[in-house]
Amino acid sequence: MTLIDDTDRTILVVDDEANIRELCSIYLEREGYVVITADDGESALDLARSALPDLIVLDLMLPRKSGYEVTRELRAASTSISEVPILMLTARSEDVDRIVGLELGADDYLGKPFHPRELTARVKAILRRSAVAGGPAGSGLNARGQIAVGPLALDWDRREVTLNGAPLTLRNKEFELLRQLAEYQGIVLTREQLLEQVWGYEYFGETRTVDVHVNQLRRKLSPDGDDPGIAIETVRGVGYKLVETQSAAN
């Protein structure tokens, strides 16, 4: 697997607390990143559009525009800024706040207070997953970098997915998650395994991220509730597996 060097990659840190911006900057710069900062939502949007950072560390509670609003506007943009990964920071403990952020398009979240090493680990993981230039060796891909499970076809090199011949539009993490499930079709993968393989960092005790992304994938695989011939099954208390359904066999 060929990875792009993280050196000199630009991280935009957005937080209204100066001490948080400073802490993030110190630890990220130690890892070789270039860090730029903003202290409110409006400034964050302006800076994101002009600087085109490689990743945005975004606080949820911001003056002028919240992290929710910033995420929504970035994801709705018609330019390449819409695909910039977002790591959302939140001091709120309620699951619903974190889930809303993920559903709006954030790639991951980190609760406050956090250890700076966890921040850098998650930043590295997000960038590593978004910077992959080729399929992993021994991954089960065929010579053309493709995986097929019933009516589902994934092309790693082109980063394209079709279901029953129709293209699916997936975000980066959704593609990575589906690819992982497809490679191990029929085999149960735990939430912890998926968290580590897809998000690329050690398990820190929070697997809700996986559940949210699985639910997003399910909606895209079957937006009308019909049986598309493929399904992500929940194995209670363990994890998930990708299987062909009855309609695929008929």
In sequence order, the 6+-apart residues with CB closer than 8 A to the CB of 103 are 212, 216
Domains along the sequence of the chain with CATH = 10-130 (3.40.50.2300), 146-249 (1.10.10.10)
Give the DSSP letter string of 63-78.
SSS-HHHHHHHHHH-S
Q: Which of 11-15, 165-169, 201-205, 234-238 has the highest mean pLDDT?
A: 11-15
Counting beta carbons within 10 angstroms of the beta carbon of residue 166, is it exposed (0 to 12), middle (13 to 18) or buried (19 or more)? exposed
**Helix, strand, coil percentages, rounded to 5, for the chain:** 40, 20, 40
Q: Which helix (H) or strand (E) holds 119?
A: helix 116-130
Strand duo 108-111 + 86-90: pairing: parallel
The percentage of the chain sitting over the pLDDT mark of 70, rounded to a whole number, equals 83
- Give the predicted TM-score (pTM) of the model: 0.62
* Per-residue pLDDT reduced to its tens digit, 114-145: 888 889 888 887 887 665 433 333 334 444 46
Other C-beta atoms closer than 10 Å to the C-beta of 216 total: 18
